[in-house]
Amino acid sequence: MNPRTAVILAAVALVLGAVGIYIGLDARSTGSDAQDSSDAVKEQLESELGSAEASAKSSEQRQADKVAGQSATLSKQISDLSAKVGSLEGQVSTLSQDASRQSGDIQTLTNQLNQLSTRVTKIEQKLP
């Protein structure tokens, strides 16, 4: 049950209780005593409802502060992850360039090896 619902239920219970007290006092008392009692009950009820409302607002403010703190934390984490993604993309690009350069070096070495192999074959053919 969230704090707002609890406060509303408490307020309804207070109202019903105050009405019950008022009816009970009104039935027992006569004249000005009943009016004084109802005024006292009314003041007490207004005081309790005011404090219940303040408590609900305070609870909502704490919840809002908690959510704001979590939001700030998540925002920072997202920012950090974004920076790490950028760094990883740079590393992948560097590795890709290295792989391309190594592929070119392998192709050059393969061509040189083929040329040497051809020379060796020609020299072997010239030998008796």
Q: What is the mean pLDDT of the chain?
A: 80
Dist CA 105 CA 59 (whole Å): 69
Encoded tokens for 49: 């409802």
Give every CB contact of residue 22 below 8 A, 6+ residues apart in sequence: 37, 38, 41
pTM of the predicted model, to two decimals?
Answer: 0.42
Span 88-120, pLDDT tens digits: 898 988 888 988 899 999 999 999 999 999 999
Could you tell me the residue ranges of all domains in the chain? 3-126
Give the count of beta carbons closer than 10 Å to the beta carbon of residue 77: 10
Residue type, 61: Q
Percent of the chain with pLDDT over 90: 13
Span 70-81, pLDDT tens digits: 888 888 999 889
To the nearest 10°, the Cα dihedral for 77, 81, 87, 90? -150
